[in-house]
Structure 1
Amino acid sequence: MEFHDQFNIENNSLNGLELENIYVPEDVIINILKYLEPNDILNCSLVCKRWCNFAKSSILWQHIYNIKEYPKKATCLPWYVYYCYFTTNYFKNMIKNGNGQHLLEHWHIERNGGHEFKIEDSPQGCGPLPLGVPEFQGHKSCFVTSYELCKKYQKIEISPKCLMYYIIQKYKPHIYVSEWFCGRFDCACYYKLAVVANVGSLNEKKAATWTKFVNAHIAQWANPEWEKVEFVWTDYPNHLINLYFIHEGKDKQFWAGHYGSKFAGGVMKFLFDTIKPISN
């Protein structure tokens, strides 16, 4: 028996560091892992205890963040915070179909007054959507409302069983909300954007509710341009179980057709940069 094999029998301290009897330093393994996809890294944690420690190392995930988000600098956070950042849309954009490119898919209609919601492939009665706006994802369409209230929402469920619920409870990242809106040059209109937070237990019949909102009015002949409304919610309540992104609008002159407010590019996300290390 060779000395090297005898050494492995007597001492397993190299377990997970030897591949085909070749010693691989820890920093080399970590350097390799940081170029894998996040889900693949967790699969590597099943190799052995040492690799599990590698895969759940805060240093490894900070390296991954620095590579993917260059030139942003990673802060010292637990590995699972970075994992949630890369594998979910909580920190990107939780709103789907923000320009109506898939008609009303993912939206729940609460009020559909007048001639109901309509999707305009290109906005009518005002200028086109601004170019180069990331939240439009290259789409040129928008939602448009009618002469009675049109109101719809998307519901984001945050189960107490999911990782994000734990991160929200521990770090309280800020909630960012935004959308672009406009109106026609020849008709006054109204627009409102709101976020509703439900808190409590999923087993409760009725959860407590908090709301943050902003609204706007556009006068007739104002010749409006597309405007971005945005706000950051920092003092939302604990124990979030649901978030609702709600927008509504109507024209203010009761004209038949679709002369009400228009909106597109809705965004709701948690701000990753607001998560700060917790001092011991």
Structure 2
Amino acid sequence: MFKPGMCRQWKEVADQESFWRERCRREGYHPHGASKVPSDWRLFYFLCKKRRNLLKNPRGEDTLRGWTLTQNNGDRWTVDEPMVPHPNEAVQKNFVTSYGMCLKEQTVDLKHEGYSPSFMDEFQPPIRISDWYAPRWDCGSEYTISVQLLDERKNVVQEFHPDIVYFPQWNDQQWCQMTHVFQNYGPGVRYVRFSHGGKDTQFWAGWYGIRVTDSCVEVCPALDS
């Protein structure tokens, strides 16, 4: 049974920066860059512990909930099972596009997710995004992605917008991964806008366009990103 004195002693230990700094060291949580020493090691520790995917419904397991459909043409977005197994066995659903352009997006509110403005401005932690996409083997298709870091007024601070990826008809329909890490983006980032999609290139009725799933946005305060 704990005595009041013991509780006070434990609180004194838990309030010490050295306690949390050592805990970070033991669990392998190291800041990015030697010059960015955390001013609050306890905060840094908990941010590392709660690192997670900030996108809702990234695999279509909850149909299209959580996503804003910015373009929904042709026979529109739908959700289906993968045509070939995904590298991650847990992925059992994917979003499917049609013969008209289909785009969907989510905007992540970093403060709402627990990343305070002061933390984002001081550490500018790497923000890692990834997305998986695959064509159908019997139809040509295209895939596009755009991810933006936004300030308080939702002006663009930094953007990742690679060239459109095209697939020919009669391909191997294997899954491909798109990844990018935002770094050194400066102070002011408050939101992340994630947008992706595509279509088929042969104008076939139905759902022959690009397939996407297992999308991810995560803040990586530690070196293991």
1:63–1:188 Cα change, 3 Å: same
In the TM superposition, what are the counterparts of 1:49-198 in structure 2 within 5 Å?
52-62=11-21, 64-65=23-24, 69=27, 72=28, 74=30, 77=38, 78-86=41-49, 88=50, 91-120=51-80, 122-124=81-83, 127-132=84-89, 138-159=90-111, 163-198=115-150
Identity of matched residues, %: 24
Deviations 1:6-48 (A, max 9, x none): xxxxxxxxxxxxx548x75xxxxxxxxxxxxxxxxxxxxxx75
| AA aligned opposite 1:130 | P
Structure 1: gaps spanning 5 or more residues: 1-18, 25-46, 133-137, 276-280
Counterpart for residue 273 of structure 1: 222
Q: TM-score, normalised by structure 2?
A: 0.82
Partners in 2 of 1:99 and 1:208 — Cα distance? Answer: 26
Alignment match, 1:257? 206
1:272 aligned partner, one-letter code: P
Secondary structure, counterpart of 1:240 in structure 2: coil
Structure with greater helix percent: 1
Partner residue of 1:218 out of 138, 163, 167: 167
After superposition, the C-alpha distances for 1:133-178 in whole angstroms (9 at most, x for unaligned) are xxxxx23110110011111111111349x65322211111111111
Distance 1:20 1:259 in 2: 67
Structure 2 CA distance for aligned equivalents of residues 149 and 219 of structure 1: 17
Contact residue 174 and residue 274 of structure 1 kept, 8 A: no
**How much has 1:51 moved relative to structure 2?**
5.0
SS in 2 for 1:103: coil
Secondary structure of the residue aligned to 1:246 is: strand
SS in 2 for 1:114: coil
Q: Say if 2:157 and 2:185, in contact at 8 Å, map to a contact too.
A: no
- Pick closer, same or farther for the CA change 1:56–1:115 going to 2, 3 Å: farther
Change (3 A) 1:217 1:147: same
**Contact 1:62 1:74 (8 Å CA) reproduced:** no
| Structure with the greater alpha carbon radius of gyration | 1
For residue 109 of structure 1, give the secondary structure of its aligned residue in structure 2: strand
User: In structure 1, what is the Cα distance between the partners aligned to 2:199 and 2:208?
Assistant: 8
* Structure 2: runs of 5 or more not aligned: 32-36
- Judged with a 3 Å threshold, the aligned counterparts in structure 2 of structure 1 residues 163 and 189 are, in CA distance, closer, same or farther, namely closer
Superposition pairs of residues 194-213 of structure 1, within 5 angstroms: 194-199=146-151, 201=152, 204=153, 207-213=155-161
**Structure 2 vs 1, CA of residues 163 and 94 (structure 1 numbering), >3 Å: closer, same or farther?**
closer
TM-score (norm 1): 0.68
- In the TM superposition, residue 63 of structure 1 has moved relative to its aligned partner by 5.0
How many pairs are equivalent? Answer: 216
